[in-house]
């Protein structure tokens, strides 16, 4: 899908992006050639540090896809997925709101200058007291909760706030991440006591939120959660509370191969089923992170070592599970299976079953196992596409390998931007 030139124009002309170098590359082979040209730069040749390339045209394209498939649902980009300031500025220029989980995330969004506090949801159901006080100071007045103690904290430190009750997604247990089972979301039997507590504290509960878990594959999870949300709306009415009006469907979307279309049509159908009348009055929001960030960033890593054992090839690269691949480990959606890479060089036709290690002395720091690669040599580069989600966000300097040193180069393609020179 071609992006609407207007979307990209908005990004390129955003005041917060001015001063950034944005390289416009020719449509077809331009992207790989750009990476090759970066590798030849002195600053890269001197250190061989890994680097990221952020493709703004891809971000604009994703926003067009979102608006096309979920026109009623306003995205609040989940900052934790990738807090890169250029990406945040681009999302702001595209009209997105922001889901922040901490004081520092709120600060980084407000510091863009173009986003007011009304475009931010503090979507962490358990917040530090000092962060709540900060939200009150800057006027971030929408947050989530799933415990009685949180109601009490809000009453004390930010009584101007409105609340969304965070529900446990009914299909959580079937989502790939078992860890998500117990941490977040009110159980069905907890909804009434939580609503009563907010009522007693005189803090308005204006709606419901849930999050089905990142990269969800079972899209029925959205329908089940929207059904549960409807039940909570009805409970609130029965308790004599003002009609709820916000439905926040969280994140979990991926951009790849029709999966977004499928998830979006599941969401649309469930909203139509469970909120048929409320629709005109209903405020629909979402908190996509991965959807916007994942495919926008490409990572280039340098091969720093090699070992041959019979037919097997082993390579060391200068990024691994304590750096950009941390998310794959922490979120259990990788284990060396999800990440896919391609060599920039290595023209041999023959391929070898290869292991790719990260640079640290942790023996678990393995990026890929049994992955077929052509014969490569030390100082070749391995390129990882789709590395924007939960990657650089897990900054670390474990073992002295400091991922904050990685540069990000910003590009877009000429095809999606009409008014380039
Ligand atoms: C992390 C998070 C998201 C974003 O999830 P993605 O899978 O990246 O879309 C959305 N909402 C909440 C509450 C989150 O914690």
What is the tens place of the pLDDT at every residue in 218-271?
Answer: 999 999 999 999 999 999 999 999 999 999 999 999 997 789 999 999 999 999
Of ligand 1's listed atoms, the one at least distance from the Cα of 252 is: 7
CA–CA distance, 219 with 217 (Å, rounded to integer): 6
What local confidence, expressed as pLDDT, does residue 421 receive?
A: 33
300 lines ligand 1 (CB under 6 A): no
- Residue 80, ligand 1, Cβ within 6 A: yes
344 pLDDT higher than 90: no
Q: What is the pLDDT of residue 334?
A: 44
**251 Cα nearest atom in ligand 1:** 9
Average pLDDT score over residue span 379-405: 94
Please report the pLDDT score of residue 258 as a whole number. 85
Instruction: Tell which atom from ligand 1 comes closest to the C-alpha of 290.
Output: 8
Average pLDDT of the chain, as a whole number: 90
Picking from 5-14, 76-85, 159-168, which range would have the lowest pLDDT averaged per residue?
Answer: 5-14
* Model confidence at 211: pLDDT above 70: yes
The reply to whether ligand 1 has any atom less than 6 angstroms from the CB of 211 is yes
Residues 87-127: tens digit of each pLDDT: 999 999 999 999 999 999 999 999 999 999 999 999 999 99
Contact 19, 89 (CB under 8 A): no
Q: Is the pLDDT of residue 418 over 50?
A: no
Q: What is the mean pLDDT of residues 202-206?
A: 98
The pLDDT, as a whole number, for residue 172 is 56
**Based on C-alpha coordinates, what's the Rg of the chain?**
23
Say how many Å lie between the CA of residue 174 and the centre of ligand 1: 17
Q: Is 144 in the pocket of ligand 1 (CB under 6 A)?
A: no
Q: Is the CB of 170 under 6 A from ligand 1?
A: no
Domain map of the chain by residue range?
A: 5-14+35-55+297-387+391-413, 70-293
- Does the domain at 70-293 match CATH 3.20.20.80? Answer given as no
Looking at the chain, the whole-number percentage of residues with pLDDT higher than 70 is 91
More confident residue, 418 or 36: 36
How many angstroms does the Cα of residue 171 sit away from the middle of ligand 1?
16
Task: Calculate how far, in angstroms, residue 250's C-alpha sits from the geometric centre of ligand 1.
Answer: 6
pLDDT surpasses 90 at 58: yes
Span 349-367, pLDDT tens digits: 899 999 999 999 999 999 9
Does CATH number 2.40.37.10 belong to domain 5-14+35-55+297-387+391-413? Answer: yes
Catalytic residue list: 361
The whole-number pLDDT of residue 3 equals 61
pLDDT at 402 over 60: yes
Ligand 1 pocket check for 287: Cβ under 6 Å: yes
Pocket lining: 75 vs ligand 1, CB cutoff 6 Å: no
* Per-residue pLDDT tens digits for 99-108: 999 999 999 9
Tell me, in angstroms, the distance from the centre of ligand 1 to residue 289's CA: 6
Please give the number of the atom of ligand 1 that sits closest to the Cα of 389.
Answer: 8
- 79 Cα: distance to centroid of ligand 1 (angstroms): 9
- Give the tens place of pLDDT for each residue, 293-304: 999 999 999 999
């Amino acid at each position: 899908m071609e992006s609407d030139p207007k979307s990209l124009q908005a990004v390129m002309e955003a005041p917060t992006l001015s001063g950034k170098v944005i390289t416009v590359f020719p449509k077809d082979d331009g992207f790989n050639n750009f990476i090759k040209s970066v590798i030849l730069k002195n600053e890269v040749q001197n250190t061989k540090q890994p680097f990221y390339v952020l493709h703004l045209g891809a971000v604009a394209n994703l926003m067009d896809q979102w608006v096309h498939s979920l026109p009623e649902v306003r995205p609040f980009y989940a900052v934790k997925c990738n807090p890169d300031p250029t990406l945040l500025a681009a999302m702001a220029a595209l009209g997105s709101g922001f889901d922040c989980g901490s004081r520092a995330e709120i600060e980084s969004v407000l510091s863009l200058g173009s986003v007011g506090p009304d475009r931010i949801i503090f979507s962490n159901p358990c917040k530090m007291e000092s962060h709540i006080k900060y939200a009150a100071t800057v006027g971030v007045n929408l947050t989530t909760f799933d415990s009685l103690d949180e109601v009490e904290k809000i009453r004390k430190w930010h009584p101007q706030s409105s609340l969304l009750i965070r529900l446990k997604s009914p299909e959580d247990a079937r989502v790939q991440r078992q860890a998500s089972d117990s941490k977040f979301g009110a159980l069905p039997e907890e909804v009434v006591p939580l609503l009563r507590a907010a009522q007693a504290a005189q803090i308005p509960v204006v709606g419901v939120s849930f999050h089905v878990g990142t990269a969800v594959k079972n899209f029925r999870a959205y329908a089940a959660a929207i059904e549960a949300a409807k039940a909570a709306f009805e409970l609130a009415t029965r308790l004599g509370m003002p009609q709820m009006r916000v439905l926040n469907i969280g994140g979990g979307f991926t951009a790849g191969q029709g999966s977004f279309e499928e998830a979006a049509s599941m969401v649309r159908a469930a909203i139509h089923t469970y909120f048929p009348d409320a629709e005109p009055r209903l405020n629909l929001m979402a908190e996509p992170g991965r959807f916007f960030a994942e495919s926008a960033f490409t990572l280039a890593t340098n091969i720093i070592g090699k070992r041959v054992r019979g037919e097997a090839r082993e390579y060391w690269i200068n990024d691994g599970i304590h750096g950009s691949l941390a998310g794959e480990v922490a979120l259990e959606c990788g284990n060396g299976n999800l990440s896919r890479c391609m060599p920039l060089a290595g023209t041999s036709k023959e391929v070898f079953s290869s292991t790719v290690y990260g640079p640290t002395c942790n023996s678990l720091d393995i990026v890929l196992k049994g992955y077929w690669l052509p014969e490569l040599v030390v100082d070749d580069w391995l390129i990882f596409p789709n590395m924007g989600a939960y990657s650089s966000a897990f900054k670390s300097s474990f073992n002295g390998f400091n991922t904050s040193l990685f540069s990000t180069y910003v590009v877009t393609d000429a095809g999606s931007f009409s008014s380039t020179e």
